[in-house]
């Protein structure tokens, strides 16, 4: 599952691949709690690297669908 984070006053977005084992609902709850509480949002990517984002600098967060929900081909919506 991919998480894209837009940073204030930065033209590029931060992309973190959480891997297939990440639970979408848990990730959403963790992100929401970090943004409400303030401080730093910590994410761990599929390789075990930790990424810290100051919540005051977050413009938007986009959480992608888990890879098993992605469709490819002519029948994809």
48 assigned to some structural domain = yes
Q: Report d(CA 17, CA 14) in Å as an integer.
A: 10
The model scores a pTM over 0.85: no
Whether 18 and 47 have beta carbons less than 8 Å apart is answered as no
Check residue 23 and give its pLDDT: 87
Q: Report d(CA 49, CA 34) in Å as an integer.
A: 18
Burial class of residue 3, CB neighbours in 10 A (0-12, 13-18, 19+):
buried
pLDDT category at 1 given cuts 50, 70, 90 is confident
Q: What domain range includes position 39?
A: 2-7+23-66
77 assigned to some structural domain = no
Average pLDDT, the chain: 85
User: Looking at residues 25-46, what average pLDDT do you find?
Assistant: 91
Whether 1 and 45 have beta carbons less than 8 Å apart is answered as no
Counting the structural domains of the chain, the total is: 1
71 assigned to some structural domain = no
18 assigned to some structural domain = no
pLDDT category at 76 given cuts 50, 70, 90 is low
14 assigned to some structural domain = no
């Amino acid at each position: 599952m991919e998480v894209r984070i837009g940073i204030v006053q930065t033209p590029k977005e931060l992309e973190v691949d959480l891997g297939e084992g990440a639970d979408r609902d848990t990730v959403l709850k963790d992100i929401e709690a970090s943004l409400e509480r303030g401080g730093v949002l910590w994410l761990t990517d599929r390789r075990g690297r930790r990424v810290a984002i100051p919540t005051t600098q977050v413009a938007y967060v986009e959480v992608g669908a888990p890879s098993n929900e992605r469709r490819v081909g002519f029948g994809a919506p």
